[in-house]
Amino acid sequence: MGRIESRIGVGMIGLGTVGGGVEKWFQQGGGETQGLELRRIAVANPDKPRDTQVPLTSDIKDVIKDPSIQIVIEVMGGIDPASGYITDALNEGKSVITANKAAIATNMPHLFEAARTRNADLAFEASVGGGIRIIHVINSFQAERIEAIKAILNGTSNYILTQMEKGLTFDEALIQAQEKGFAESNHLSDTGGYDTRYKLTILASLGFNTWFDPEAISRRGMADISPIDLDFAAKYGVEEGESGYSVKLLAIAKRREDNSVELRVTPALISKDHPLSSVRDEYNAVYLEGSNAGPQMLTGKGAGREATTS
């Protein structure tokens, strides 16, 4: 008689920062408690020395076509070829877990259809908001209509702005973020608002029940912000009795009166009386306004390996 599989087989595509965190979780026994076993990892260079006992391969098909693998975790990042690999895995009837906001945002209708056709699960909770679990919350809005989303969705940019409020220059704050593992050497995706735009696309598409093309969303990064701007914002209106303002890189989605949706990513002044103003360092926050229940805010760490793999 053949061996009865008692665990669900897992394959992974990619072994970078996030993939390393996932592999470490398995290595420390996390998979055993969930009945999961990491059986193969596809990487660009399997001969590179790595601290793993899991079999490595350079052929993606070794993961996607392996009948002993039921779940594929995609952590290579980028739109292509990752989108194709996710599609191929779904077409094989395998469930896919991914934190790839660029692939999900850009190809959401196609990927959703592939999952539906093969009755496979496509899980992308980690693509937005780190450990907040905001995808689950937005999908739970069934009896209530979402009117607006205002969110801090990039932990790197928020960390940099927090340090700049303390007087650091942009470059000094960036170096600090890189040393802490919150920022990549090429930081433009974070500080230029591209990362936030992908995440806004996902939240808005789910929240307003229609897909939005990320390339069509207005985007402005934080390159022109200086410590002087932040100091001015903090003092603005104080003499008139106001509490002052913070500057945040915001993702904004608002339903208009004609039921169309306004979408933009931009640095914005936030009154210090508003709960989003108190979100600091690498934390993310999503402020939802519903038609009946009113506003609610969810917060959590949004940068670093642990936040994404949690």
Q: Is 234 in contact with 244 (CB distance < 8 Å)?
A: yes
Instruction: Please spell the DSSP secondary structure of 212-235, one letter per residue.
Output: --GGGSEE--STT--HHHHHHHHH
Structure tokens that stand for 186 in this block: 């090429």
Tell the residue number behind the tokens 């592939």, with chain if given.
114
Pair of tokens at residue 17? 């920062």
| DSSP state for residue 2 in the 8-state scheme | P
182 pLDDT above the threshold of 90: no
Share of the chain above pLDDT 90, in %: 82
DSSP at 72: E
Place 310 in a pLDDT band, splitting at 50, 70 and 90. Answer: very low
DSSP H stretches of helix in the chain: 17-27, 30-33, 61-64, 82-91, 101-117, 134-139, 155-165, 170-179, 188-191, 194-207, 227-235, 305-309
CA of residue 16 relative to chain centroid, distance: 16
Position 309 pLDDT exceeds 90 = no
CA–CA separation, 6 and 56 (whole Å): 22
120: left (phi over 0), alpha (psi -120 to 50) or beta: beta
pLDDT in tens, 248-288: 999 999 999 999 999 999 999 999 999 999 999 999 999 99
Q: Is the pLDDT of residue 180 over 60?
A: yes
Q: Which amino acid is at 155?
A: G
| CA 213 to chain CA centroid, nearest Å | 17
Q: Residue 4 — pLDDT band, cuts 50, 70, 90?
A: very low
pLDDT number for residue 176: 95
Residues 73, 42: Cα–Cα separation, whole Å: 10
Catalytic residue among 94, 101, 150, 199: 199
Q: Give the pLDDT band of residue 240 (cuts 50, 70, 90).
A: confident
Q: How far apart are CA 148 and CA 168, in angstroms?
A: 33
Looking at the DSSP assignment, which residues form a beta bridge with residue 98? 74
R_g of the chain, CA atoms, integer Å: 21
Mind listing the domains of the chain with CATH numbers?
8-127 (3.40.50.720), 134-309 (3.30.360.10)
286-298 per-position pLDDT tens digit: 999 998 878 999 9
- Encode pLDDT of 60-95 as tens digits: 999 999 999 999 999 999 999 999 999 999 999 999
**pLDDT for residue 301:** 86
Catalytic residue list contains 199: yes
The C-alpha atoms of residue 161 and residue 174 are separated, in whole angstroms, by 9
Instruction: Evaluate if pTM is beyond 0.85.
Output: yes
Q: What is the DSSP letter of 193?
A: S
- Residue that the structure tokens 């945040």 belong to: 248
* Residue 52 scores a pLDDT above 60: yes
**Cβ-based neighbour number of residue 236 at 10 Å:** 15
